[in-house]
Amino acid sequence: MENEFQEVMSQRTDKELIKIVTVERGKYQPLAIEAAEIEIEKRNIDTADFEQIREKATAEKEQKEKIDANVVGSGIRFVNFLIDFIVGSVLALIVSSVFAFFIQPTGPRLISLIGYLLIFGTFFAYYSIMEIKFQKTIGKFITKTKVVKMNGEKPTEGDIIARTLCRLIPFDRISFVFVKNGIHDFLSKTTVVKDQME
């Protein structure tokens, strides 16, 4: 009788199969391990690669566990939000005042439109520039936290831009009440961790 997992294991890559029979062995049922070993034998995969792949997978797993252990909670995220909201509001007020001093638009709709654009632009620039340059905003400097990719690496400019744009999603600000990583973290594949990881 064919093992029920053989079809599934036949679709895995060589690297995935090696991970299953080495590093991730504890996550699988004995029949799944057996199916993976049969598939490895069928493909005649060189077992010399096992140790190298196992070491790499173990290092990745340890790094992920380290990141997960240092992800900050909702309380600190809320403090970051409050501080950054205050800083962003002050910056938006300054930018708006400077703009109003030099250019005086006419009509209430035009004033409102320009006001919204200046506020949005200021907040977008604040978050983007600070997190691209420092991996943190003023709030994160104060709480000693920083933005990283899910694997712990420094986010790219594209990651930060995506993260900042995702902040516009309705209810993003309260998503931290329900989950450790909010909507803009999940979509940009980033997270906020302690500066000095344990």
Q: Where are the domains of the chain?
A: 6-69, 74-194
Asked if pLDDT for residue 162 goes beyond 70, the answer is yes
Q: Are 163 and 185 in contact (CB under 8 A)?
A: yes
- Bridge partner residues of 192 (DSSP): 147
Asked if pLDDT for residue 46 goes beyond 90, the answer is no
Q: What is the pLDDT of residue 1?
A: 43
> Can you point out the beta strands (E) in the chain?
145-149, 190-194
Nearest one of 42, 43, 30 to 3, comparing CA atoms: 30
Average pLDDT over residues 100-112: 75
Q: What is the pLDDT of residue 6?
A: 87
Q: Are 157 and 165 in contact (CB under 8 A)?
A: no
Indicate the pTM of the whole model. 0.73
* Residue 68: its H or E element: helix 48-70
User: Can you tell me the distance from the alpha carbon of 116 to that of 162, in angstroms, rounded to the nearest whole number?
Assistant: 20
Average pLDDT over residues 113-133: 92
Asked if pLDDT for residue 32 goes beyond 80, the answer is yes
- How far apart, in Å, are the Cα atoms of 159 and each of 19, 94, 166, 167? 28, 28, 11, 13
